[in-house]
Amino acid sequence: MQIPNHLQDHIETIVKHEQEFQASRSRGERIGDRIATFAGSFPFVAIHITFFVAWVATNTLSVGNLPHFDPKPFPLLDTGVALEAILLASFILMRQSGLAKRADEREHLILQILLLTEKEVSAVVRMNQQIAEHFGLLKISKDEEIKELGRPTSVDAVAATIQEKLTNE
């Protein structure tokens, strides 16, 4: 399927922004992301299940001449698991923080685009009203709702109204 040129331009812009974001990340952030991604995968779970089963089997069953180096209730295993949990939680929090930062950047970009779009649409509505008036379409050119749509929207006033309504609930 052939993608129209204007969509291809948008796709390339999005890809460029994503690549710039990825390139701006530190080495530590990239390593932390890889660890957090692996920790959330099925192979990670499978490796841990295999490891825990082997650990418990080695320390409870008589397998050849292998000594029981961590008898029940497995304090060495508990310590290792606790340390791993601390590290994994840190990597996951680092990843979540990075994702939240990226989401905030996207939200700011979306807000800027929406504000620009609102200005452009208001200008188009005003131009259409002027065209309607020029051609004698008074019903359209004098319509109060259309006139209201042609006026700039105060983002600060909208935000204050939303905040006021939210605090009243």
CA distances from 49 to 22, 106, 114 (A): 33, 38, 49
Is 111 among the domain residues?
yes
4 vs 122, more confident: 122
Summarised one tens digit per residue, pLDDT across range 59-85 is 999 877 888 999 999 999 999 999 999
The CA distance from 32 to 36, in Å, is: 6
Q: What is the pTM of this model?
A: 0.69
Is 13 among the domain residues?
yes
Is 53 among the domain residues?
no
Summarised one tens digit per residue, pLDDT across range 108-135 is 999 999 989 999 999 999 999 999 999 9
Is 60 among the domain residues?
no
Predicted pLDDT at 169: 75
Is 68 among the domain residues?
no
Domain of residue 81: give its range.
Answer: 5-39+73-168
The CA distance from 159 to 166, in Å, is: 11
Name the domain count of the chain.
1
Is 103 among the domain residues?
yes
Is 55 among the domain residues?
no
